[in-house]
């Protein structure tokens, strides 16, 4: 059986956080969301949190070195030995190289890359709705546009790398949570990744 060492990727508002949690629960693996780690540190007012807050409030992304160190530390913990789901990392080609080096040392390559595909206008609608429901200050019009532009220019190209390796597959992110989840589980099963 193929171990679930997964990456979920998609633009902000694609539902990757929600689907990632469901996948992690189904496979009993940790969901490693860099956004969640950063938000927790901001909430707790840690030195990392204060540094991250200033970066996020400006609509920028946290530097690669900082993000990579956090992910490597998290994937080294015992609960990630049987698999994991990454959400929000890697987000650019440099981070792909960093993650590859770490996973190669452990002989643990990614076994599946789930691309949640939604149109840009749907992403924007969902983010605006999330901002209203959760009161997230980082979800304002200017930062949303900036983050989507960064996703399109920096993150989307990493999918080509994973497609060439034969581990990436696209999932239609439009539909109910259950419909999208079923598409993901079916696609994983077709690749020998079953809970």
* Active-site residue list: 16, 91, 130, 136, 147
**Beta-strand relationship, 5-9 and 84-87:** parallel
In this structure, how many other beta carbons lie within 10 angstroms of the beta carbon of residue 85? 27
Burial class (CB in 10 A: 0-12, 13-18, 19+), 55: middle
> How far, in whole angstroms, is CA 172 from its chain's centroid?
16
What is the DSSP code (8-state) at residue 83? -
Nearest to 155 by CA among 80, 83, 86: 86
59: left (phi over 0), alpha (psi -120 to 50) or beta: left
Q: How far apart are CA 129 and CA 90, in angstroms?
A: 26
């Amino acid at each position: 059986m193929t171990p679930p060492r997964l990456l979920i990727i998609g633009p902000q508002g694609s539902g990757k956080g929600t689907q990632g949690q469901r996948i992690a629960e189904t496979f009993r693996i940790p969901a490693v969301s860099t956004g969640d780690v950063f938000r927790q540190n901001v909430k707790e007012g840690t030195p990392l949190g204060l540094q991250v807050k200033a970066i996020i409030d400006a609509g920028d992304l946290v530097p690669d070195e900082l993000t990579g160190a956090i992910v490597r530390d998290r994937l080294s913990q015992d609960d990630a030995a049987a698999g994991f789901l990454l959400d929000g990392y890697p987000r650019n080609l440099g981070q792909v190289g960093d993650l590859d080096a770490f996973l190669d040392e452990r002989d643990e390559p990614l076994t599946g890359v789930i691309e949640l595909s939604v149109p840009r206008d749907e992403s924007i609608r969902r983010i605006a709705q999330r901002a209203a429901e959760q009161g997230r200050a980082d979800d304002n019009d200017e930062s949303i546009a900036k983050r989507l532009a960064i996703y399109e220019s920096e993150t989307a190209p990493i999918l080509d790398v994973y497609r060439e390796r034969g581990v990436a597959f696209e999932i239609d992110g439009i539909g109910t949570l259950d419909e999208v989840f079923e598409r993901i589980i079916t696609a994983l099963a077709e690749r020998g990744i079953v809970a």
